[in-house]
Amino acid sequence: MLKWAMATHPMSYHELRAAIARPEPPEPVACPVCRLARRALLLWIEDLVYSFGVDPQVRREVRVARGLCSRHAHLLTEIRGMALGVSLIHLDVIDTVCEDLENRTAAPPGSAASADLADGLMARLRRGAAVARLREGIRSAVAPARSCLACEHQREVEELYLTTLLRHIGDAELAAAFAASPGLCLPHFNQAAALASDAPTLRLLIDAERHCLLRLRDELAEFARKNDHRNLGERVGPEADAWIRSIDHVTAMGSLR
């Protein structure tokens, strides 16, 4: 399913270049890969909800994963017209959990008689074993048996965009756009570094990101200076929202809030 979904959202240099340019009005999330990942995820989730009703394999995978993880499940509320599909997904998941709970936590034969045993060591051991068995039954019924499908898709999307960035980071046009942009959030910077295959590409990535980080650092320092009680009369400039941008830059996935 993931391969099919990815084919509907082709990655391109021009798409990445446009995201890095960040045309006005600026989007609230600075990192271009965060914004592109968010857009791709919303489209993919629409496909997932639709496919759930017509594709038995998708239904099985969603049941085994116990739906989406908390972070991605909240994106379901941002897409119009998804209420029925989301209801059907969670109806299926809850039915599966209830069935598993019944099967995995049913009292074993003869368990009622053991309640009349004297309060001795064997009785306490049996009660402890019964509690452990019930806890394991709950865990098996509730815990996902596979990773979140949206997490898997997000990783593929991020890797494709970051690979495109690394492939073209030496291009003059892209380099100029990156230098003028907020740059990557730190987690995506780290992820890009892990994908780079040679030292020259890594050096270009480091220099480009450090340039953006130092600019943000200067804006934060200026914001702090103007908020000192001795300088409160000074007019605040572009650094006014630097503290907000710093949150998205340091902690990834501002795109998924």
pLDDT tens digits for range 155-198:
999 999 999 999 999 999 899 999 998 899 999 999 999 999 99
Structure tokens that stand for 181 in this block? 């942009």
Decide if 93 contacts 86 (C-beta within 8 A).
Answer: no
Structural domains in the chain (count): 1
Residue range of the domain that includes 235: 1-257
Distance of alpha carbon 234 from alpha carbon 243, whole angstroms: 18
Which whole number is the average pLDDT over 189-209? Answer: 95
For the beta carbon of residue 68, count every other beta carbon within 10 angstroms.
22
Model-level pTM? Answer: 0.77
Q: Please report how many Cα atoms fall inside a 13 Å half-sphere around the Cα of residue 196, on the Cβ side.
A: 20
Question: Among 39, 114, 110, 21, which residue's Cα sits nearest to residue 75?
Answer: 39
Structure tokens that stand for 144 in this block? 């996902």
Decide if 97 contacts 142 (C-beta within 8 A).
Answer: yes
Q: Which of the four pLDDT bands, split at 50, 70 and 90, describes residue 7?
A: very low
Indicate if the pLDDT at residue 67 is higher than 90: yes
Q: Which of 38-42, 110-114, 193-197, 242-246 has the lowest mean pLDDT?
A: 110-114
DSSP for residue 23: P
